[in-house]
Chains A and B, each alone.
Chain A
Amino acid sequence: MINSGPPPAGAENEDIDLVRRSQAGDSRAFDALVTKYRNRLYAMVFQMVRNEQDAWDLTQDGFFKAWKSLDKFRGQSSFYTWIYRIVTNVSIDWIRKRQLRPEGEFDDSVARTDIDPTADVTPKGGVSPERALERHELPDRIDAAIAKLTPEHRAVILLKEIDGLQYHEIAEVVGCSIGTVMSRLFYARRKLQTLLKDLHEKF
């Protein structure tokens, strides 16, 4: 089980101490920070890239980049937000470089029926709900739907819905205004809602 959501309030003080020691060159303190956040960050990266090995490597690159930039961390935001920002940006850059375009990856018969995003009922398609229940189809459908989002939209919806970050934290992580976060989040929600409508209405 992935431990999602922001860290408890007391954890920030512990982080500050570990960061100070890390900045002084104590690699064991940094190791403690890595152990603390590696699973959450890996889960977030995995949702973005949908591949275990790539997620592992990108999380590794993100932490390594954080170690090298540690002297630039001034404590103006929490370490949690700061490390998220680095790892998220590493992932977004990687997706852009790979030119992962979600179009064409999503093969779903329901999608062919041209769902109206504002429709409040599931259109009658050729796929039965029982089939949608199939164990392997559900994760694939969600993965494919997430993959259809742009890297920026993907990041904000995952940071909000999976990691439970506040809007201002998401803004810090992705490096944009709160207004932009809300705008991206709105369109990400609408698109996922369209793509997964038949699923989330049944579950």
Chain B
Amino acid sequence: MKNFEARYHEWLDGALSPAEAAAFERELAAPPHGIDPTAERSAQAALGDLLRRHVAGAPPMPHGDFFNSELQRRIAADAKETQPAAAEPAALPAPGWLQSLLGRLTLASAACLLLGVVGYRAFVQPQLIDPTQRPETEYLASVLETKTATSAVSATSFSLPAEKATVLWLSGTEHIEVEAFAKEDPSDEPNEPDAL
């Protein structure tokens, strides 16, 4: 069931059937409305005419061309405001103290990591290699070379895990002159080779 206002407009627009219109006019004339249907219809028609005539006499839009150009100017200004932000990447903010600190920490961490890798490769990794696969201990040979009087002497070491022993093999000691030993420690006897 449509409400009174909906039926009123259908009646006013002539959208009701004759029977519906007659029923509505009886309702309109009865309390609480008490509206004379004929007078109401003509009053609404007159009101519409009055409003339309009034609007027809209203001033047209002044400066229509300026209206358009002003609108285009606003649109262009708005586009200019929004486009740079979209086209250009946002500028990086100036590094703050936190970013500076983080940068330095990163560099320090990288340096520590590099030193760690070098140290590992130089000192730890060689020790982890299976000793049976390691014919020489370069570190030991190097130390001995610095201690030998002549470069003709060389040292070779290897370990025997089964015997829990490390062997140091010296060769070339025959080239060491007896006097050299005598000068350093007169009590030492020159030895024939060469094993410890």
Contact = CB atoms under 8 A, between A and B. Distances in A.
Interface of A: 1-2, 4, 27, 30-31, 34-35, 38-39, 42-43, 46-47, 52, 56, 59-60, 63-64, 67-68, 118, 120, 138-139, 142, 157-158, 161-162, 167, 178-179, 182-183, 185-186, 189, 192-193, 196-197, 199-201, 203
Contacts of A31: 68, 71-72
B18 interface: no
B64 A39 contact: yes
B71 A162 contact: no
B78 A68 contact: yes
B15 to A, nearest CB: 10
Interface in B25-83: 33-36, 39, 43-44, 46-64, 67-68, 70-72, 74-76, 78
**Most chain-A Cβ atoms within 10 A of its Cβ — which of B33, B34, B60, B78?**
B60
Interface stretch (B3-11, B90-98, B109-117, B122-130): B3-11
Given A31-B72, A182-B6, A201-B46, A162 B62 contact: no
Given A120-B39, A201-B46, A2 B62 contact: no
B138 to A, nearest CB: 74
B47 A193 contact: yes
A200 B9 contact: no
A139 B67 contact: no
B60 A39 contact: yes
B49 A200 contact: yes
Main secondary structure of the interface of A (DSSP, over half): helix
A196 B43 CA distance: 10
B12 to A, nearest CB: 9
A193 B44 contact: yes
A38 B69 CA distance: 13
Interface string B113-149: 0000000000000000000000000000000000000
A145 to B, nearest CB: 9
**Most chain-B Cβ atoms within 10 A of its Cβ — which of A139, A161, A179?**
A161
Contacts of A46: 58-59
B61 A56 contact: yes
A197 to B, nearest CB: 7
A43 B50 contact: no
B131 to A, nearest CB: 76
Nearest to A68: B78
A4 B52 contact: yes
Given A27-B72, A59-B61, A185 B35 contact: no
A182 B54 contact: no
A158 to B, nearest CB: 8
B44 to A, nearest CB: 6
A118 B48 contact: no
A62 B177 CA distance: 111
A34 B58 CA distance: 20
B104 to A, nearest CB: 47
Contact of A193 (B33, B43, B52): B43
Nearest to B12: A189
B9 A182 contact: yes
